[in-house]
Structures are given as structure tokens and as C-alpha cells.
Amino acid sequence: MKGYQGSRGQKGIKGKRGSPGLPGEPGKPRLIQRQGPGSDSGLEPFPGFVLKAALNSTITSSIQKQSKRQDLHRRMTKRWSASNQTEDSLSRKLGSRDNPGTTCYQLKLQHPHLSDGYFYVDPNQGCPCDAVRVFCNFTAGGSTCIEPRPSQLTWKEENLKSRNVLQWFTQQRDGHQILYTVVDAVQLRFLRLHSHTSLQDVVLRCPANKSSCAAAENWNVRLRGDSGKEFDSHLTVVTRQVCEIHVSLNVQASSALDAGDVELLPVRDVGAEMTSEARAASEMDVFLGPLCFL
């Protein structure tokens, strides 16, 4: 049989402190009560978030300032580019040395109201450093014209080095062919490729007496091209007047893989096939017009 419960004994001596337990999981950010005036909610973010917000604000302010500077630069550049009074603006316009067109025809397509004059073109579309200064005949549809050097030759009977029936004018110039202004072989080849029609006029004029003129009017004029080959007669139209022979050369580009007669351009020499009667002409001037590609 269970007896009665005895009285509570005295409190024992305090034991030693045990070893620390394992670390717990990280807690959530807490909100701190803002005590100062001017607070709407009375709550202030944790200091880590305050630093991040301040950094974002600084970056945003910097971007806004940079955007304002860029906008100001664009407006100033636009205003500067629109001014036609500055030399640099003029030098950058299409058809200038720094910004050449491909051909005069291309310039006309982009600016239909351009007036005839000298412009820079770069037919090979490479570095502008080899751009060519040409005369653009926009009135004739946008022809790219290069000028011969020299543009005038003089044939004199006293300078004849042979008595052949056919006399070439270069024979009186020690074989030097007719050159063209600042156009090298590469640019000339690309001018041919960009063109469908090429035109050039040659005029023979007798400045001497009438009897000499009458003899020279019977000359048969021949033209020799870039490769030394003569142009066929079907490519030329000859008009004869008093003391003057006018030869118009018209070469159409070939649709075949080869360039055909265009490869002969430009005119490098002018010849006169003289009959025995025509030899009475003691002097004759030859005027070469520009070679124009369209």
C-alpha cells in the first residue's frame, strides 16, 4: 500500500554550463522605427537597402546627365551640319573630295537639281584618296566627263617623218599618246563598267588658206583607241563643213561578258588618210572634246 508523499527537499547546487548548440537559420530583414519628424510611414528600410537605393539614385542621375549632354551634342551637330557657311560642311557634301560619288549619274539620281560643274567621283568605290575630279554634265543626263591632255594638236606637213598615206598625229609628237586628266587605268576601267554609252567628239580644222582647206576636207579621219586598235567606222559619224571635219564617236556597252568596243576607250591618237590631192594641206589643227561616260 502506497504511503503519504513526503515534504519537498532543499534546492541542489547549480551545475556547469553546457556546450553551445548549432547555429540557426538566418532571419528576415527587420524594419526600424524612424523617430525623426517628416516621416510618412514612420518606417525606415534596413541600412543595407538604404545603401543600395543611394547607389541606384547616383547611377540614374549620372545617366540622365549623360543623356542631356548627348542630346545637346546632337542638337548642336544638327545645327552645325545644316549651316552652309562653314568650310568643313561644304567639304563633306556629296561629290566632294572627302565624300565622292560613284559617277555623275549616281549624283544626279540622289540630287536631281544639281547644276553642271566639277565634282569628285570614285568609280572603284574604294578609298576616297584616289577620287577623280571630273566634269559632270547633268544637262546631258549625268555624264561623267574626263578631259584630254593636250586637248589640241597641230599637224604640219613640214614635220612629216614619212610619206605614208596614213599619218598619225602622235608621229609628230615622238609617239606620245593623248592622256586624260588624273584618271589611272583602274578608275578608267570602272568608269567603263558603270557606263552604257560613251561619247567623244574630234574636230579637225584648217586655219590656213582656202586651197589648203579644200584639200583637207577630203581627208579620211581615223581614230585609235586605248589598246592601239582602231575604232570601226560604224562607231563614228563624220560631218564635213568648210575647212572643218567633225567626227562624233558613240560607243555602246556590250551585253556580252566582254566589254567589246568600250575597252578601246578613250581615243589615244588621231590619223588622217590623205589622197595625193589632200597632201596640199600644209597645216591642220585637231581639237579633242572630253570623253563622257553615261
Exposed / middle / buried, residue 24 (Cβ in 10 Å: 0-12, 13-18, 19+): exposed
- pLDDT of the residue at 86: 41
Residues of the chain with CATH 3.30.750.130: 92-143
Residue-wise pLDDT for 36-80, tens only, equals 444 444 444 444 444 444 545 555 566 565 556 555 555 544 443
* Cα–Cα distance for residue pair 15/37, rounded to 1 Å: 51
CA distances from 74 to 66, 94, 166 (A): 12, 21, 67
Residues of the chain with CATH 2.60.120.1000: 147-293
Residue-wise pLDDT for 113-172, tens only, equals 999 999 999 999 888 888 999 999 999 999 999 999 888 888 776 666 666 778 788 777
- pLDDT of the residue at 208: 59
Structural fold of domain 92-143: Transcription Regulator spoIIAA (3.30.750)
> What is the CATH architecture of 147-293?
Sandwich (2.60)
- pLDDT of the residue at 10: 73
Specify the DSSP element, H or E, that contains 51. helix 47-82
Which pTM does this prediction carry?
0.63
Percent of the chain residues topping a pLDDT of 70: 64
Annotate 260-290 with DSSP letters as a single string.
GGGGG-S--EEEEE--TTGGG--EEEEEEPP
